[in-house]
Amino acid sequence: MGKRMDFRKRLASAAMVAFVGLSGPVHAEQVTLTFANWATAEGATRDGMEKVISAFEAENPDIKIESESIAFAEMARQLVLRLRSGNPPDIAQVAGNDTFALALTKGLEPLQGYADAEFLGTLTPGAYEPLMMGEDLIAFPWNQAPAGLWYNKKLMADAGLDPENPPKTIDELNSAMAAIKEANPQVIVLGIDTTNRAFALQSNWPWIRAFGADPVAEGGAEGDEMQAYLGWLRDISEKGYVDPGRKIGEFRPLFAQDQVAFLWDQVLVQGVIQSTNGMSAEEFNQNYGVIPMPTGPGGKGYSFDGGHQLVMFGDSEHKEAAWKFMEYLGTNEAAIRTYTIETNRSIPPVKSIEDPAVAELLDTPVIETFKNDIIPTISPMPFGPEFAEYATVIMAGIQEAVTSDRPVADIAAEIQNQIGN
Amino acid sequence: MLSLSKPFLHWMVLPTLLVLLAIIGYPVVSTVYLSFFGYNLLDFTPPEYLGLGNFKDMANDRIFWISLKNTLYYTGGTVLVSMLIGTAVALLLENLKGPVWSCVRAFVVSPWAVPFVVVAFLFRFMYMQNGGIVNDILLDLGVITNPVSWLNRADISLGAIIVANIWATTPFFFLLVSSALSGIPDAVLESARVDRAGLWSTIFHIKLPFLRNPLVVGSLLMVISNFNDFAKVWVMTQGGPGYATTTLVVYVYRMAFERFEIGYASALGLIWLLLLLLVSVFYIRLLWNRQND
Q: Provide, as residue numbers in chain A, all residues whose Cβ is less than 8 Å from the Cβ of B260.
A: 80, 101, 388
What is the crossing angle of helices B62-93 and B248-257, to 10°?
Answer: 130
Question: What pLDDT is recorded for position A26?
Answer: 46
Number of alpha carbons in the 13 Å side-chain half-sphere of residue B135 = 16
Q: Are B181 and B94 in contact (CB under 8 A)?
A: yes
| Cross-chain residue pair A397–B241, CB shorter than 8 Å | no
Instruction: Please give the residue of chain A at the shortest CA–CA distance from B243.
Output: A396
Which residue of B63, B151, B238 is in closest CB contact with A197? B238
Number of alpha carbons in the 13 Å side-chain half-sphere of residue B180 = 24
Is residue A270 predicted with pLDDT exceeding 80? yes
Residue from B253, B39, B263 nearest A388 by CA? B253
Question: What pLDDT is recorded for position B8?
Answer: 78
Q: What b/e string do you get for A168-199 counting C-beta neighbours within 10 Å, with b at 16 or more?
A: eebeebbebbebbbebeeebbbbbbbbbbbbb
Q: Provide, as residue numbers in chain A, all residues whose Cβ is less than 8 Å from the Cβ of B254.
A: 392
Q: Provide, as residue numbers in chain B, all residues whose Cβ is less than 8 Å from the Cβ of A200.
A: none
Question: What pLDDT is recorded for position A25?
Answer: 45
Question: What pLDDT is recorded for position A182?
Answer: 96
Q: Are B221 and B77 in contact (CB under 8 A)?
A: no
Question: What pLDDT is recorded for position A11?
Answer: 54
Q: Phi/psi zone of residue A289: left (φ > 0), alpha (ψ -120 to 50 degrees), beta?
A: beta
Phi, psi at A262, each rounded to 5°: -120, 140
The pLDDT confidence band at residue A214, using thresholds 50, 70 and 90, is very high
CA distance A369 to B216: 65
| Cross-chain residue pair A245–B40, CB shorter than 8 Å | no
Domains and CATH numbers, chain B: 49-292 (1.10.3720.10)
CA distance A384 to A97: 7
Count of pairs with CB atoms under 8 A, one residue in A, one in B: 82
Q: Name the minimum distance, in Å, from the CA of B131 to any CA of chain A.
A: 10
Q: Name the minimum distance, in Å, from the CA of B82 to any CA of chain A.
A: 27
3-state DSSP assignment of residue B228: coil
Residue from A65, A122, A130 nearest A95 by CA? A130
Q: Name the minimum distance, in Å, from the CA of A136 to any CA of chain B.
A: 18
| Contact with chain B for residue A239, Cβ under 8 A | no
Q: Provide, as residue numbers in chain A, all residues whose Cβ is less than 8 Å from the Cβ of B238.
A: 195-197
CA dihedral B174, B175, B181, B183 (to 10 degrees): -170
Q: Name the minimum distance, in Å, from the CA of B224 to any CA of chain A.
A: 26
| Cross-chain residue pair B41–A399, CB shorter than 8 Å | no
Instruction: Please give the residue of chain B at the shortest CA–CA distance from A106.
Output: B44
Chain centroid, CA B68 distance in Å: 14
3-state DSSP assignment of residue A169: strand
The pLDDT confidence band at residue A23, using thresholds 50, 70 and 90, is very low
| Contact with chain B for residue A245, Cβ under 8 A | yes
| Cross-chain residue pair B152–A403, CB shorter than 8 Å | yes
Angle at B194 between CA B193 and CA B197, to 5 degrees: 45
Residue from A226, A241, A139 nearest A409 by CA? A226
The pLDDT confidence band at residue A336, using thresholds 50, 70 and 90, is very high
Instruction: Please give the residue of chain A at the shortest CA–CA distance from B246.
Output: A396
pLDDT in tens, chain B (293 residues): 445 567 777 888 899 999 988 898 899 999 999 999 999 988 888 899 999 999 999 999 989 999 999 999 999 999 999 999 999 999 999 888 888 888 998 899 999 989 999 999 999 999 987 778 999 999 999 999 888 889 988 889 999 999 999 999 999 999 999 999 988 888 888 888 888 778 888 888 888 888 988 999 999 999 999 999 999 999 999 998 889 999 999 999 999 988 899 999 999 999 999 999 999 898 888 877 766 66
| Contact with chain B for residue A101, Cβ under 8 A | yes
Question: What pLDDT is recorded for position A14?
Answer: 53
Question: What pLDDT is recorded for position A2?
Answer: 47
Residue A405: CB atoms within 10 Å: 12
| Cross-chain residue pair A77–B237, CB shorter than 8 Å | no
Within 8 A by CB and 6+ apart from B204, the residues are none
Residue from A417, A421, A420, A415 nearest A393 by CA? A415
Angle at A161 between CA A160 and CA A163, to 5 degrees: 130
Question: What pLDDT is recorded for position B175?
Answer: 94
Instruction: Please give the residue of chain B at the shortest CA–CA distance from A394.
Output: B242
Instruction: Please give the residue of chain B at the shortest CA–CA distance from A254.
Output: B130
Q: Provide, as residue numbers in chain A, all residues whose Cβ is less than 8 Å from the Cβ of B258.
A: 198, 388, 391-392
* Interface residue of A196, A250, A398, A417 to substitute, partner B, most B CBs within 10 Å: A196
H or E stretch at A137: strand A136-137
Is residue A181 predicted with pLDDT exceeding 70? yes
CA distance A380 to B205: 71
The pLDDT confidence band at residue A7, using thresholds 50, 70 and 90, is low
The single-letter DSSP state of residue B13 is G
| Cross-chain residue pair A188–B130, CB shorter than 8 Å | yes
Instruction: Please give the residue of chain B at the shortest CA–CA distance from A386.
Output: B259
Is residue A399 predicted with pLDDT exceeding 50? yes
CA distance A419 to A217: 10
Question: What pLDDT is recorded for position A15?
Answer: 54
Q: Are B135 and B148 in contact (CB under 8 A)?
A: yes
Which of A 337-376 lie inside 8 A of B, CB atoms? none
Q: Are A398 and A233 in contact (CB under 8 A)?
A: yes
The pLDDT confidence band at residue A119, using thresholds 50, 70 and 90, is very high
| Contact with chain B for residue A81, Cβ under 8 A | yes
Is residue A129 predicted with pLDDT exceeding 70? yes
Angle at B66 between CA B65 and CA B69, to 5 degrees: 85
3-state DSSP assignment of residue B260: coil
Domains and CATH numbers, chain A: 31-138+308-345 (3.40.190.10), 147-304+381-419 (3.40.190.10)
Number of alpha carbons in the 13 Å side-chain half-sphere of residue B45 = 5
3-state DSSP assignment of residue A396: helix
CA distance A335 to A75: 23
Within 8 A by CB and 6+ apart from B4, the residues are none
CA dist A6 → A10, A307, B137 (Å): 6, 65, 87
Single-letter amino acid, residue A96: G
Residues paired with A312 in a beta bridge: A91
Question: What pLDDT is recorded for position A17?
Answer: 47
For A280-317, write each residue's pLDDT tens digit. Answer: 999 999 999 999 999 998 889 999 999 999 999 999 99
Q: Provide, as residue numbers in chain B, all residues whose Cβ is less than 8 Å from the Cβ of A98.
A: none
Q: Provide, as residue numbers in chain A, all residues whose Cβ is less than 8 Å from the Cβ of B130.
A: 186, 188, 243, 254, 259
